[in-house]
Amino acid sequence: MYKFIDLFAGIGGFHLAFHRLGAECVFACEWDKHARKTYERNFKKMSPELFRKKKFYGDINSIKDIDTEISDFQILTAGFPCQPFSQAGFKKGFADTRGTLFFNIAEILRIKKPEAFFLENVRGLLNHNNGETFATIKKVIEEDLGYSFHWQIVRASDFGLPQLRPRLFMVGFKDKKIDFEFPTPIKTKMTMSDVWGGDCSRTIGFTLRCGGRGSRINDRRNWDAYLVDGKVKRLSPDEGKKMQGFPDNFVFPVSNVEAMKQLGNSVAVNAIQAVGAEIIKILDTSFNPTVQFNAHTSNISKMAVHARKLTPTPLH
């Protein structure tokens, strides 16, 4: 069984996607107290050892000894916040990332040396700080840490979810010879009418956000109001879960306002799962070739096929 860590975990979109693929989460961190409450409520039964061993941290900076506090793992996942580096970042590389949250990721990669990583961020990271932030990240990963670096803008609607939500996905491997390709988009079958259970005027929904709710339906800033069966309706967590790929039994032990904020900050689970399936498929053949002959890989292969279908499964 592959092991992964879930950094800047939010409400656990990465966790859910990789659990569906048969991997085990051995370390996670999330500083927001409300998101932590949602994460623990939904994953304590799914990944009991994570909580029993007290491996669900708050502030990532509270890690004192990366080597001993973080269990060994093969895949690092993170939906990390975007922070500016100095204008000299492209020249300084690794040293220039100190003081930013990306530095924590880089340090963990440097010390633990996992087989692969999977990072997610907003599309704007590409041009952030005149492109120097992305250039620094790429340089650190490729030149300073020795990993490969593949990136692509991926939309939630490319993998079965009815919202655009373009996000920057970054994937890399310790073995730089690995030829990675992002999965081919599939036709979206779910529409906003399916989400609402009624006739919606939009087939693909607006990208969920974490703020700015309540604009009029004709306002260009509107993202949470829809015309359904001829009436204006606003998104609730029930619709938001469907749009992000969370199962119906995913629970929010917080207010609806907080739940919508958490959904707006989350990753699109189906898109993460589709890319995660490709990562695992590659590791099956390159990380440990003999694994393809055992029952584990047979199970992984079935789950990878399931990821193609991308039908939400309930939490266990």
- Clarify whether 82 is annotated catalytic: yes
The angle that helices 13-20 and 295-309 make with each other, rounded to 10 degrees, is 120
Distances 277 to 78, 112, 285, 310 between C-alpha atoms, Å: 16, 22, 13, 11
| Tokens matching residue 78 | 């993170």
Instruction: Tell how far CA 190 is from the center of its chain.
Output: 20
Whether 201 contacts 226, CB under 8 Å: yes
Tell which residue, 80, 279, 66, has the closest CA to residue 172. Answer: 279
CA torsion sign for 52, 295, 182, 136 is positive
Whether 33 contacts 52, CB under 8 Å: no
Distances 107 to 91, 100, 129, 251 between C-alpha atoms, Å: 19, 11, 22, 33
Q: Which residues are marked as active site?
A: 82
